[in-house]
Chains A and B, each alone.
Chain A
């Protein structure tokens, strides 16, 4: 994440010249990012910031403009999914409050690392954190999605309905006041178990800009919400955090409204389609898409690590190799988003076709 010390003070350094190709690129990435966000509750941000930087946008402006497009997109997505009965507003607001504290501490940790080990140290910390979280959480979610898919295909008892995670079942039994009931999520949990999940979501958001990679699995496996409710509720958390972040960046004059609106033009199409898509898929599909994206992004982050190790003089590599690794890292990130979008679109089309066939069969019988 860019910090205050990286902020350009000359207006000519802040705003880039836009042409048709750049506008087209931002629109497409915005659409795909929105589609993934609407479906799994997060994502898109990890490609948009480096994507904008590759167009020559300064880091601070890329982060600010990304943040400013994120909050209305998340709010629109949350509103749509609220209508489908998937959002637990109370859980989202409690999570967002504790996530806010996580963001503040995450920024402090970042500042400390940067002060001690410099820019390369900070980047290394971000990449390693990214890689570890993505492999551990993504791997676990992927295995769980496979199990749930198998169960659903076997058509066992309650195959359509997700069973509460074992850890969540144990935590729900502990009566540690204040206990909070969440109607939509269908859970009753102590605030003291929700707070760490929210806190870690914020901490990760401040570190890698995608808090949802902790927030959604946290709500599923620690709090016991379903994948659909968790991904929808994460949009509330993203909306609240994005709004407060946008105010901060707007006060620093770093929001490029042109970039924000172009991305928003694409992402508002995407986020609504993603939200519609959730009504056609089974619960495990959200986990499957999320974990697939997480694991592909982990590979991308792994390729970025050698560059920072070289900068810290912990490793030696030719400049050409670093350049290839860097380009490869960005391309794999784009692939992650594209794969996610492809799975979502396929699921939506398949679901819609099946729904229409079922309706036609019903009408034919009548």
Chain B
């Protein structure tokens, strides 16, 4: 912060003295970042694999226990909060699987065009 103020003051002094090029150089130096810009967030392969296993595991569990799942789905018509069961399950699965799919595309470089 202090360095930046000092650089600005020096640049102003040079500019007032008519040394515009030097002033410009000082300003450019002061705005140079000392640390590299943070890289775009890219999920690690471990995270993607974990999400993939979770997603497939979810489907496997639903198919393995399909009789119970079907009964719970059907109970929606008997009133109460049973109707929330498929909606909540779909919301949870969407969160897991959407992140997995997005991570997978990101990992393989299939990303949106940078403007």
Contact = CB atoms under 8 A, between A and B. Distances in A.
Contacts of A250: 73, 76, 83-87
A265 to B, nearest CB: 6
A11 B71 contact: yes
A279 B113 contact: yes
Interface stretch (A44-52, A168-176, A256-264): A256-264
B113 A11 contact: no
Interface in B12-65: 55, 58-59, 62-63
Contacts of B98: 72, 76, 268, 272
Residue among A73, A246, A261 with the most chain B CB within 10 A?
A: A261
Contacts of A258: 62-63, 66, 69-70
A279 B62 contact: no
A238 interface: no
Nearest to A14: B74
Contact of A268 (B78, B101, B113): B101
Given A252-B76, A253-B78, A276-B112, A264 B70 contact: no
Interface residues of B, number: 36
Contacts of A264: 90, 93-94, 97
A261 B58 contact: yes
Nearest to A85: B115
A257 B74 contact: no
A280 B113 contact: yes
Interface residues of A, number: 40
A254 B77 CA distance: 8
A305 B45 CA distance: 51
Interface of A: 11, 14-15, 18, 68-69, 72-73, 75-76, 80, 83-84, 246-247, 250-258, 260-262, 264-265, 268-269, 272-273, 275-276, 279-280, 351-352, 355
Interface of B: 55, 58-59, 62-63, 66, 69-71, 73-78, 82-87, 89-91, 93-94, 97-98, 101-102, 105, 110-113, 115
17 contacts: A11-B71, A14-B74, A15-B66, A68-B90, A72-B91, A72-B94, A76-B98, A246-B87, A250-B76, A250-B87, A257-B69, A264-B97, A265-B55, A272-B105, A275-B112, A279-B112, A279-B115
